[in-house]
Amino acid sequence: MRAILLSLILMSATAPLLSAADPARQSIEVSYADCDVFGALIPAREDLVEPHVAEGFTLRGDGTGVVTLGVVFVDCPIFAVEGKAEPAMDYFVLLAELDGGIGSYDLLEITTSDAWQNAMEVVDKPSLIADSMVVDFIRPAGEVVHGFAYVEHGGEWVKATAVPAAGVPMSTPSPSYHWGLGTHGRIYAQHDNVFSRFGASLITLEGSPGSLLVQLVGAEQIVLPGVEGRYCAISLFESPPGPTLQPKGECGQL
């Protein structure tokens, strides 16, 4: 599995906080520690995904009309916005892989954290507060990990389970790059991730008939190989993108 999967995940930024209404370049840094995550890559029809991606972004396809989506479920016991520690957060993102090796495009982001949503408002990044959400991990035998997630917003829901699996091809996670579009233009995020655990999983995804995931995948249930892990990260969000900034903090130090 390509490094994009767990590299799809996290986020942070640097520089002074500016008002979301300020037309100048805005940026914010978010750091995380001891977060658990699982996720998977999903093939989807390009003609169904493309309308959800802003003009100027090109999806990475396989030449047959198929593109790659990613789903990521995260449980963070603590994170920090610009150095200020915040309570636990659960987080879900649905994204699409972009052409040209520039990363992925966020299609949908849902969280349980008001602090996270407020941070994203600084860079004009759309983020929804869940009506109901849980991301949980069980370790019945040491590092053998089972994951469960349920996300609901606006009457639509997604449910996922992850169980250990052998033989799933993986690669070492690497820094990831995310893009999106807000009312002030493009949003860029760079996530520097360090994984203390990284293993193969079998992921079962289910969704309500009207959910965006089901619309794009074309099925209400799908089983596919995935990954799970534990990581720390530091993420830099910028809007609009400018010369690359460097995070001020270090991974795992909140």
* Domain residue limits, the chain: 4-239
Q: How far is Cα 8 from Cα 189, in angstroms, rounded to an integer? A: 11
Query: Would you say residue 6 has pLDDT above 50?
Result: no
For the record, the structure tokens of 176 come out as 């990831």
Architecture category of domain 4-239 in CATH = Beta Barrel (2.40)
- Please report which confidence band the pLDDT of residue 162 belongs to, taking 50, 70 and 90 as the band edges: very high
The H or E element that residue 5 is part of is helix 4-7
Q: Can you give the pLDDT at residue 189?
A: 84
For 91-119, the pLDDT digits (tens) are 999 999 998 777 899 999 999 999 999 99
Each residue's pLDDT tens digit, 39-83? 999 999 999 999 999 888 899 998 899 999 999 999 999 899 988
User: Is pLDDT larger for residue 174 or for residue 4?
Assistant: 174
pLDDT at 195 over 90: no
CB 75: neighbour CB atoms within 10 A? 22
User: Nearest to residue 69, comparing CAs of 102, 40, 100?
Assistant: 40
Report the range of poorest mean pLDDT among 4-8, 192-196, 240-244. Answer: 4-8
Exposed, middle or buried by CB within 10 Å (0-12, 13-18, 19+), for 10? buried
**Average pLDDT along the chain:** 82
**Given pLDDT bands bounded at 50, 70 and 90, which one contains residue 11?**
very low
User: Can you tell me the distance from the alpha carbon of 18 to that of 123, in angstroms, rounded to the nearest whole number?
Assistant: 8
